[in-house]
């Protein structure tokens, strides 16, 4: 195996482990309240950001 093959293998395994950790964190019942509180964060209207964009 070449260096590129080893890099790809290690990179794939690391990404897999990070995704597995993220899934465990998200689906852990202890974290439900934190996740539920932030589920609409991208949709919330932030007045300070809209004021900055309007230049006021």
| Structure tokens belonging to residue 52 | 């900055």
Number of structural domains, the chain? 1
Domain coverage including residue 21: 3-54
* Count of C-beta atoms within a 10 Å radius of residue 5: 9
Question: In which element (H, E) is residue 12 found?
Answer: helix 3-27
Global confidence as pTM: 0.60
Query: One digit per residue, pLDDT tens: the chain, 56 residues?
Result: 899 999 999 999 999 999 999 999 989 989 888 888 888 888 877 665 555 666 55
């Amino acid at each position: 195996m070449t260096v590129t093959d080893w890099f790809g293998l290690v990179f794939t395994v690391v990404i897999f482990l990070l995704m597995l950790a993220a899934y465990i964190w998200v689906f852990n019942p202890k974290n439900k309240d934190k996740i539920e509180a932030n589920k609409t964060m991208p949709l919330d209207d932030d007045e300070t950001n809209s004021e900055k964009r309007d230049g006021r």
